[in-house]
Structures are given as structure tokens and as C-alpha cells.
Amino acid sequence: MATLGALAGPAATEPAHSTEPAPLQPVSATWAALSDVHLDIIPRTEEERARVQAVTAPPTDFSAPWPFEANPAGAQTVRARPTADAFSQPAANLSFAQELDFRVGNGLFRRVWVSAPSSTIASDGLGPLFNARSCQRCHLKDGRGHPPEGPGDSAVSMFLRVSIPATDTEAAADEIAAYIEGTHPTAPDPVYGGQLQDFSLPGIPAEYRLEVSYEEIEVPLSGGEVAHLRAPSYTAADLGYGPLHPQAMLSPRVAPQMIGMGLLEAIPTEDILALADPDDADGDGISGRPQVVWSHAHGRPMLGRFGWKAGQPTVLDQTAAAFSGDIGISNPLYPEPWGECTEAQVACRQAIHGDDAEQGGFEIDEQSLALVAFYSRTLAVPARRDVDDPQVLRGRQVFYETGCPACHRPKFVTHRLADDNPASFQLIWPYTDLLLHDMGPGLADNRPEGRADGREWRTPPLWGIGLTPTVSGHSYFLHDGRARSLLEAILWHGGEAQEARDRVVTMPPEDRAALIKFLESL
């Protein structure tokens, strides 16, 4: 099996502090073919390649809205609703049959699972350890999760991942480390597994209770303004199975928003790898690296795209892993009926499970799993707002001048796909490169995942970010929800983004306000 190091293509060439993202560069077709096996691709013609190159070229005029900018998801874009349902709409270009599948998948996404045995066989199998009883409980209204907001508040949309360093022998037995160059050898906690579950069925202890405390940090800004950040500390309290491993590494994660996932999945791997510059060959201080992880759905290494550290390669992989780890529901990719329970958790493994023969021996069968994945792929991205507002236009220019597009890549064109795939050949504006970046010590969780080290995170998409208060009822951002505003999120940027962050601190207050106004329009 070839490693990524043997297949990576040339780095993008962008001058230091450029206001324009570099054009896409060709990379090895071998790796692209290996990674996009989940898609039925119709190869681009040379004419189409030229069209893609032209439409994704860096902008030169900032005085007016750009063509198609108001439709961030291309033909999948829907109007921006001023309600909490803004993220819960089907993509605008679904056929009648596809919309029916979307509706059925939505019902499964919202399904509240119960413990086995139950008269509702199709809904039993919960737990025995779990973080939520449905997908919707974490991704409320398909939006962002949040940390507990004080004593007594549930952490239902947030949990702690856990792992320990692995020896070389253990790593060699791991299918990921065996195939993928640069993977950090880690293993689950021998007692608590790969994530901590804070709920359980009667008679089985929950694994923990999440406690969060904050220290306020004052940040002076230009123009006499002051911002306040909150630095979090996390405690796994009330551990139900004894102490964690002495080398346990914990990482807090809130549930991310769900929109546009099928479009992100359809971005050509070669276009993402063309933006990678792991050795900072162009000297601009930005060193995006591709995550590469094992696909349980396809049985091979693939480019990681989903999750805070890009730990999952496809929407189906992400969906199946969440059913198993978050709800304790067995499925064709994760067949263990006890979900995440380890051998040390005897009562959990011996509990009655819902792996029914009529569902293929699983608690959710292949067809239902596929419908939930389809729903997740086809959640629409709302249209931009205020694209012609003068302050938004100024903020967009500030965004480029500050260097934000170096990581938050504005636009791509998706693969041309067969079988009436609604993600086919769309110009999209997700504002991400889907690469890993060193974000500095302030945001470090000090826990590696795959090829990502303890300071690296995947660039999160920005589309829809301005609708977070409307959909989720809060304005908490970043992987653990520590930022209470978009400005706070920017001020936590460090590492590769330190220079861009510092420019935001020192720029005229009116430009800073315009930048935030632009982000709120996305």
C-alpha cells in the first residue's frame, strides 16, 4: 500500500501575506482515485478543467458582490429562513424521490432510541452507555452543540474523547498505523474506550460527569477596545469505573453543524491536496497538511474530511461511528452490540441488546444507516444575506487582506457525478481547505488523532456561521464552544494563524467591525 508521502503533489504557491488564495495546482491522480472511491465520478474534460480554474481564480474586484456568491451551495442553496429551522431544509435540487429519502432519513435522525428489549424493535438497542438518545439531541436543529451553561445544565451536545499513547507493537496491529505514513500511534483507554459517555441504562454506571470551569483573559484591541476570552478547564468527574489511565489524553468536542456535508464530500481530493504545503515551501507561514484515516465503509485509507480533526473520510463513516460511539447503536460498520463498552465494563457487555435478526443482526440496518447518511449529505446551506451591504463588502476585503483565505479557502467546484447526484458539479463557497493546521498552544488539546498532532485542527467551514444564534440559540464557537462570539473565536487563533489574528487586534476598529459583519453574512 502506497503511503501519502509517495503520492502527495506539489504545494500551492502563494506569496507571503497575499490577499489572494493561490490557484489550484494538479497533484497525483493516483491518490485522487484512491480517495474518491466512494463517488461515481465522471472525469472532467479539459474544457471543464479550464472553466473550474477560471471560476475559482482569486478575485480582483472587491467593490461589488461576485457572481454566484449569494448561493454558497450552488443549486443546493435555499433561502435563509429567520427561524431555528434554517439548517434543516432539504437541498433545493433534490428530485421528488430524493426528497422522500431525505424525509425518511430525517425521521431516523430524530428517532429517540430506547433500551432493549422493547415492543418497538426498530427503535431499541440504546446504549448501554451513551451520550445522547438520538442524533438530533446532539445536533439540535442540525446546528452547533454547546458546553454546559452552568450548574445543572446537561452536556448532551458535548463530550470528551480519550486515548493513550500506544507502543510500536500495538500500533503495528492497528490497521490505520499499518497503512498510513505519519499516523500517531494511540490506543483507547483500556477501561473507558475512545470517548466518555455520561449517560447509561438503569443498573449500569455512567462513565463520568463533565465539569467545565473558565478563567477570563483580557485582550486589549486597537481604538481603546477590549475583548475578554475565557480559557476552559475540563474535569471528568464522578468516574464510574475507577481512574482513567495515567497517560490518558482528553479532548473536548461539541457537535458541529450539519449543513453542506455532501458537497464537502464531493470536493475532488486532488483539489484539496493541491492546497497542502506541509513544509511551508512558499514561506508564507501556512503549512496545511492532509489528514488521512481508515475508512470502515471502503476498507482503505482515505482523505479525512469530517470532524474537528478530520477523523472521518466520508459521511457514511461519520454517521456509523456516531451511532456506535454516541448512542450505542450497532450497525454494519460497527457491529458490536454494546457500542463503546470495553472488556473491563462487564455489566455493559452482558446487558440485553437490540441486534435483531430482521435488521441484519444490527440495531440499525444497512438501509436505515444509508438513509441517515443521505439526510446528512443533503441538508441545504442557506443563502448569503446582505451581500451588497457596503459594510459587508468592506469586511470581505478585510478578510482577504488579513490573510484568512490561506486556510478558509472560499470556493471549490465539486466533482461531476453520475446517477443524478445532487452534489454534482456545483460551485460552492464553504470557506475551508479541509486541511490540518497548527493553531497554537491556546487551542491545543495535546491529543493526537490520526496524522493530526495535539495542536492541529481541521479548518472548519464558515458557511452558515452567521445563523448560529438563530438556529442554535447561542453564539458559542470553536471545537469546545469556549468562544462566545466570532471575535473571540478569531482572537483564539494562534500558530499558523497568529499573524492574521494580530492584524485583527491592531486594525482600525471600523475594519474589525466590518470583518465581523462579513462573517455574520455567511
Q: What is the pLDDT of residues 117-156, one digit of tens each?
A: 876 767 888 999 999 999 999 999 999 999 998 777 778 8
Average pLDDT, the chain: 90
- For the ranges 71-80, 183-192, 385-394, 436-445, the lowest mean pLDDT is seen at 183-192
b vs e for 138-169, b when ≥16 Cβ sit within 10 Å of the residue's Cβ?
bbbbbbbbbbbeeeeeebbbbbbbbbbebeee
Q: Quickly tell me which residue has 445532487 as its cell.
A: 422
How much is the pLDDT for 122?
73
- Count of CA atoms in the C-beta half-sphere (13 A) of 248: 21
| 287 vs 19 pLDDT, higher one | 287
Q: What is the rounded CA–CA span in Å between residue 264 and residue 248?
A: 32
Instruction: Give the pLDDT score at 361.
Output: 83
Quote the pLDDT of residue 153. Answer: 77
Kindly compute the dihedral angle of the four CA atoms of residues 258, 260, 264, 266, in this order, to the nearest 10 degrees: 130
Mean pLDDT, range 388-401, rounded to an integer:
98
Q: How far apart are CA 334 and CA 286, in angstroms?
A: 37
pLDDT, position 10: 27
Residue 26 CB-half CA count within 13 A:
6
Give the burial string for 19-29 (b: 16+ CB within 10 Å, else e): bebbebbebbe
Whether residue 5 has pLDDT greater than 70: no
SS3 per-residue string spanning 14-74: CCCCCCCCCCCCCCCHHHHHHHCCCCCECCCCHHHHHHHHHHCCCCCCCCCCCCCCCCCCH
Note the helical H segments in 245-389: 261-265, 269-273, 315-322, 346-350, 366-377
User: Residues 194-204: what's their mean pLDDT?
Assistant: 96
pLDDT computed for residue 156 by the predictor: 87
**pLDDT interval class at 11 (50, 70, 90):** very low
Structural element, H or E, at residue 186? strand 186-187
Confidence of residue 30 (pLDDT cuts 50, 70, 90): very low
Is the per-residue pLDDT at 3 higher than 50? no
pLDDT of residue 170: 63
Run of H or E residues at 107: helix 96-110
pLDDT given for residue 169 in this prediction: 59
Q: Is the pLDDT of residue 441 over 80?
A: yes
Cα 426 from chain centroid (whole Å): 20
Q: 327: which DSSP letter?
A: I
Note whether 231 and 482 are within 8 A (CB): yes
Give the pLDDT confidence of 353-378 residue by residue, as tens digits. Answer: 888 677 678 999 999 999 999 999 99
Whether pLDDT at 20 is above 60 = no
Indicate the pTM of the whole model.
0.92
pLDDT digits (tens, 9 = 90+) for 306-345: 999 999 999 999 999 999 999 999 999 999 999 999 999 9
Domain ranges of the chain: 46-521
Does residue 26 register a pLDDT over 90? no
| Angle CA 96–264–478, to nearest 5 | 120
